[in-house]
């Protein structure tokens, strides 16, 4: 439920929602609001008011883009007929609605992973047929918080809040634990094209007197990690180029940091202190895009040397993704539509299934931008190809 608390028509409307009014009290662990809406860290036992500000969208529907999406179709999600934490039943049922948190695909789009935090059928859902159907491939539920996948789709990494890091080396057919730091507050993850280099951020690590949320890096397929950057920021997203040499991370509390040497040195980017929610880069690392919950989209075409603002409307941008060839960018917004641009944000086109606004939580694309997958929190997974 969104509530308008600013009736001054000369100002941007200020909205809020109350934590226990959006049925999140049953979510496991902490950070429920951020897991669902990509907002900042909260304590699940407290009544929380999350504030954000936006104006009415301008809906720039220019058709100047050469790139055009096809039609959207709804994916088929096969759920266990009864869910037990110890195993996955073999008699699935078709049920599409979920609390979809994040989605990602490999370079071809054949392998797609999605996290559902729905209490009835939680876990990692996998498609190996370009999104025609999804099945539950995690045998035990954990508080999954991020996704990363190699170009081939053979290796994938899934961190879990207050738990461990899970790895698959068999196209997400099964996952095993690759970290012994239970309760590690692992959040978002990125990997190189072959999966050898892995970068992961911690978040919500405010228990036991901790004063840092480090960025960790592995150079051996997540078998071990070292601390690369150690700051107490509320990291929201992390991205990496194909080789693993360029890594960028953004935070809800307004920080963006970048390394061009595999994590040896991190540089604070000259950007406004917005509530950054998502960051993405192309395969070279030259083109970097990020979006914020308070209405902004910025990009750099020279690995952070210069940044340009280019949002089509002041919306609650939840996720952004760029094709590996940097020819097309996709961004999705809460309670709005999906937008895409093929000319570095000069013009944007709005698109959504049935042309109706939805609570878009995550979006991903294959290497050339021809297959796009997006998910709705409290809704379905959609494919556009």
Query: Residue 128: which residues within 8 A CB-CB, separation 6 or more?
Result: 110, 111, 153, 171, 172
Based on the fold, state whether residues 24 and 96 are members of the same structural domain.
no
Based on the fold, state whether residues 41 and 171 are members of the same structural domain.
no
Q: Which of 196, 223, 237, 218 is nearest to 362 (CA)?
A: 237
Which pLDDT score is estimated for 204?
63
- Let me know how long the chain is: 385
Which pLDDT score is estimated for 326?
87
Per the domain annotation, does 66 fall within a domain?
A: no
Based on the fold, state whether residues 202 and 327 are members of the same structural domain.
yes
Per the domain annotation, does 230 fall within a domain?
A: yes
Which pLDDT score is estimated for 22?
30
Q: Which of 115, 132, 136, 128 is nearest to 75 (CA)?
A: 132
Which pLDDT score is estimated for 141?
73
Which pLDDT score is estimated for 183?
58
Contact assessment for residue 32 and residue 17, using Cβ atoms and an 8 Å cutoff:
no
Please state the rounded mean pLDDT for residues 345-352.
92
Based on the fold, state whether residues 7 and 107 are members of the same structural domain.
no
Banded model confidence at residue 24, pLDDT cuts 50, 70, 90: very low
Based on the fold, state whether residues 50 and 77 are members of the same structural domain.
no
- pLDDT-above-70 percentage for the chain: 74
Please state the rounded mean pLDDT for residues 206-224.
78
Per the domain annotation, does 67 fall within a domain?
A: no
Which pLDDT score is estimated for 42?
31
Based on the fold, state whether residues 295 and 369 are members of the same structural domain.
yes
Per the domain annotation, does 62 fall within a domain?
A: no
HEC string of the chain equals CCEECCCCCCCCEEEEEEHHHCCCCCCCCCCHHHHHHCCCCCCCCCCCEEEEEECCCCCCCCCCCCCCCCCEEECEEEEECCCECCECCCCEEECCCEEEEEEEECCCCCCEEEEECCCCCCEEEEECCCCCEEEECCCCCCCECCCEECCCCCCEEEEECCCCEEEECCCCCCCEECCCCCCCCEEEEEECCCCCCEEEEECCCCCCCCCCEEEEEECCCCCCCEEEEEECCCEEEEEECCCCCCEEEEECCCCEEEECCCCCCCEECCCCCCCEEEEEECCCCCCEEEEECCCCEEEECCCCCCCEECCCCCCCEEEEEECCCCCCEEEEECCECEEEECCCCCCCEEECHHHCCECEEEEEECCCCCCEEEEEEEECEEEEC
Tell me the C-alpha distance between 148 and 193, whole Å: 10
Based on the fold, state whether residues 49 and 77 are members of the same structural domain.
no
Q: Which of 20, 21, 23 is nearest to 45 (CA)?
A: 20
Q: How many domains does the chain have?
A: 2
Strands 156-159, 338-341: pairing is unpaired
Which pLDDT score is estimated for 91?
56
- The chain-wide mean pLDDT, for the chain, equals 79
Is the pLDDT at 258 greater than 90? The verdict is: yes
Based on the fold, state whether residues 240 and 375 are members of the same structural domain.
yes
Tell me the C-alpha distance between 240 and 218, whole Å: 13
Please state the rounded mean pLDDT for residues 204-224.
75
Which pLDDT score is estimated for 115?
94
Strands ordered across the beta sheet of 297-300: 276-281, 288-292, 297-300, 308-309
Per the domain annotation, does 140 fall within a domain?
A: yes
Per the domain annotation, does 61 fall within a domain?
A: no
Based on the fold, state whether residues 300 and 225 are members of the same structural domain.
yes
Which pLDDT score is estimated for 114?
95
Is the pLDDT at 135 greater than 60? The verdict is: yes
Per the domain annotation, does 358 fall within a domain?
A: yes
Based on the fold, state whether residues 139 and 32 are members of the same structural domain.
no
Which pLDDT score is estimated for 305?
97
Please state the rounded mean pLDDT for residues 109-125.
88
Based on the fold, state whether residues 45 and 157 are members of the same structural domain.
no
Please state the rounded mean pLDDT for residues 10-36.
29
Please state the rounded mean pLDDT for residues 350-376.
90
Based on the fold, state whether residues 356 and 309 are members of the same structural domain.
yes
Per the domain annotation, does 282 fall within a domain?
A: yes
Contact assessment for residue 258 and residue 208, using Cβ atoms and an 8 Å cutoff:
no
Is the pLDDT at 84 greater than 80? The verdict is: no
Banded model confidence at residue 11, pLDDT cuts 50, 70, 90: very low
Question: Which tens digit of pLDDT belongs to each residue from 271-324?
Answer: 999 999 999 999 999 999 999 999 999 999 999 999 999 999 999 999 999 999
Point out the least confidently predicted range of 19-33, 57-71, 168-182, 230-244: 19-33
Provide φ and ψ at 374, rounded to 5°: -140, 155
Tell me the C-alpha distance between 377 and 118, whole Å: 10
Q: Could you tell me which residue, 11 or 248, shows the higher pLDDT?
A: 248
Q: Could you tell me which residue, 243 or 2, shows the higher pLDDT?
A: 243
Which pLDDT score is estimated for 139?
57
Which pLDDT score is estimated for 162?
76
Q: Could you tell me which residue, 283 or 15, shows the higher pLDDT?
A: 283
Contact assessment for residue 207 and residue 184, using Cβ atoms and an 8 Å cutoff:
no
CATH of residue 178's domain is 2.130.10.10
Q: Give me the domain span that covers residue 352.
A: 72-384
Please state the rounded mean pLDDT for residues 230-237.
91
């Amino acid at each position: 439920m969104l509530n308008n608390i600013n009736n001054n028509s000369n100002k941007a409307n200020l909205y809020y929602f109350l934590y226990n009014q959006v049925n999140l009290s049953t979510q496991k662990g902490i950070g429920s609001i951020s897991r669902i809406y990509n907002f900042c860290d909260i304590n699940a036992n407290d009544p929380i008011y999350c504030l954000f500000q936006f104006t009415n969208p301008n809906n720039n529907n220019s058709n100047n883009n050469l790139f055009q999406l096809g039609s959207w179709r709804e994916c088929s999600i096969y759920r266990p007929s009864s869910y037990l934490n110890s195993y996955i039943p073999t008699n699935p049922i078709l049920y599409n609605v979920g609390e979809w948190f994040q989605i990602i695909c490999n370079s071809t789009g054949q392998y797609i992973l999605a996290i559902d935090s729905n209490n009835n059928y939680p876990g990692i859902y996998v498609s190996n047929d370009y999104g025609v159907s999804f099945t539950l491939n995690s045998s035990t539920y954990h508080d999954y918080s991020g996704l990363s996948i190699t170009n081939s789709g053979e290796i994938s990494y899934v961190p879990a809040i207050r738990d461990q890091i899970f790895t698959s080396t068999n196209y997400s057919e099964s996952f095993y634990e690759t970290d012994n730091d239970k309760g590690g507050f692992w959040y978002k993850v990125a990997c190189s094209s072959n999966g050898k280099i892995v970068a992961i951020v911690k978040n919500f690590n405010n228990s036991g007197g901790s004063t840092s949320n480090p960025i960790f890096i592995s150079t051996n397929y997540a078998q071990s990690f070292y601390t690369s950057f150690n700051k107490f920021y509320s990291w929201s997203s992390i991205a990496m180029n194909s080789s693993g040499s360029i890594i960028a991370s953004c935070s809800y509390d307004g920080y963006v940091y970048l390394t061009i040497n595999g994590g040896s040195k991190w540089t604070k980017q000259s950007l406004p202190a917005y509530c950054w929610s998502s960051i993405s880069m192309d395969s070279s690392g030259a083109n970097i895009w990020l979006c914020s919950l308070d209405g902004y989209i910025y990009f750099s075409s020279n690995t952070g040397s210069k940044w340009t603002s280019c949002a089509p409307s002041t919306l609650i941008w939840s996720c952004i993704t760029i094709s590996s060839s940097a020819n097309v960018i996709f961004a999705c917004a809460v309670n709005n539509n999906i937008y895409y641009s093929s000319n570095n944000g000069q013009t944007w086109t709005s698109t959504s299934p049935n042309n109706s606004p939805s609570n878009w939580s995550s979006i991903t694309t294959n290497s050339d931008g021809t297959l796009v997958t997006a998910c709705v929190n409290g809704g379905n997974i959609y494919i556009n190809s």
